Amino acid sequence: MKKIGVALLGLGTVGGGTYRILKNNHDSIMKNDGIDIEIRHIIERDKEKAVALGADLSIVSTDINDVVNDKDTHIVAEFFGGIEPAKSFLTKCLLAGKSIVTANKEMFSKSWVELEAAAKKGHAGLYFEASCVGGVPIIRTLTESMQGNVIQSLMGIVNGTTNFILSKMADEGKEYGDVLKEAQRLGYAEANPTADVDGFDSMYKLSILSSLAFRKKVPISQIHREGISGVDKADIEYGKQLGYTLKLLAIAKNRDGKIEARVHPAFVPSDHPIAGVKGSFNAVHIVGDNVGDIMLYGRGAGDLPTGSAIVSDIVFAACQSKPKYAPFKNVDNVSTKDFTDNYLCRYYLRMTVADQSGVMAKITSAFGKNNISIASMKQMPSAGENATLIFLLHQTYEKDLNRALEALKKLDCVNSVNAVIRVEE
């Protein structure tokens, strides 16, 4: 029987869930995996959290050196969030030869290179399954199950807060601001929701996932990011009429040897599996050259779902004869030649124009001069002197579209371009 000492850094939502799983599932893990896991240290300022969980207060402290200097602690699981003190604490543990497990996507995506260097120096392991998509085993799928494929694309709903908001807007016809307040009241959104609604959380996760998918470091500096705060319920409704559902997507593609990585609202066909992912659930759709389409779906956050991923990593780490590191050259100074920001996709446009003759001729001329082809156009019922036009465009390059938008804004018959939303088929 292999005995493994574990330290927990923090007893917040996920830390508390992990503690409960390690206690409740201790015997089944010992029986199924041959590992006797002992929680030897808990680093936590608020001892009331430990009391509420029934933890032994003699192992609770605020001194990371208690963990670093204990030769019988082998694995350290971190739940602090943020960059510091998490990064400093984990670096000390790695240099002391202790493997780490973390759900901290911001810290990990920004400090992966430094943490890996410390891990190699201390002959320790890095495990981060819980950093992306909560309890859904996406990391292990990419690293352990896709060796027979060259991954062509990855597309996912990786943030439950924004998916809850967009689902509510679509199902109940509510405005963004009203649904955000509801999400905050229910605990799905933070008092300061910026990390979620502005796409930062999804960007951190996409950096990790796309790096593993394409075996090449994809830093956050190479990821285009847009949030959902500018989404209008009118476009969600118009999209539904056209057969599309709006989601905040994290998208990465390997096109002609170059990687494109982006986070933004996008329409997907309403019969696509991603479109059916509702509420706070997450899903990731992967396309491999041999396996074809794969989709993983489940709870992307929460104490027990994320805690289950943490415990999985603890068990996985305990079973390794030697640590594994990133399957690519893990450096920060990547070549920009490996990436492209000239995306190729379809687009949805909504604009307000003067309701008069000759308008369509001017608009189509602006499109044509910029290599853009119109797939369909619909004029919505209007009153007064203005009209609302909805365009679906054939696949076009982002830079051509941007030139066309500049040309449209200069037309005296175009009052405003109200929405530009990418469409992923």
Q: Which two tokens stand for residue 193?
A: 């929701």
CB distance 49 to 16 below 8 Å:
yes
Residue 266 CB neighbours (<10 A): 25
Q: Measured in whole angstroms, how far is the alpha carbon of residue 299 from the centre of its chain?
A: 13
Helix/strand/coil for 65: helix
Taking CA atoms, 152 is separated from 187, 212, 213, 288, in Å, by 36, 12, 9, 6
Q: Prior bond to 327 cis, omega within 30?
A: no
* DSSP bridge partners of 9: 43, 78
The catalytic position among 92, 98, 205, 217 is 205
Sheet architecture: strand order including 60-61: 60-61, 35-43, 2-9, 75-78, 99-102, 126-127
**What CA–CA distance (Å, rounded) separates 27 from 40?**
17
**What CA–CA distance (Å, rounded) separates 242 from 293?**
24
Cβ within 8 Å of residue 105, ≥6 positions away: 131, 132, 201, 204, 205, 208
Q: Which two tokens stand for residue 172?
A: 């109940």
Is residue 217 annotated as a catalytic residue, yes or no?
A: no
Q: What are the catalytic residues?
A: 205
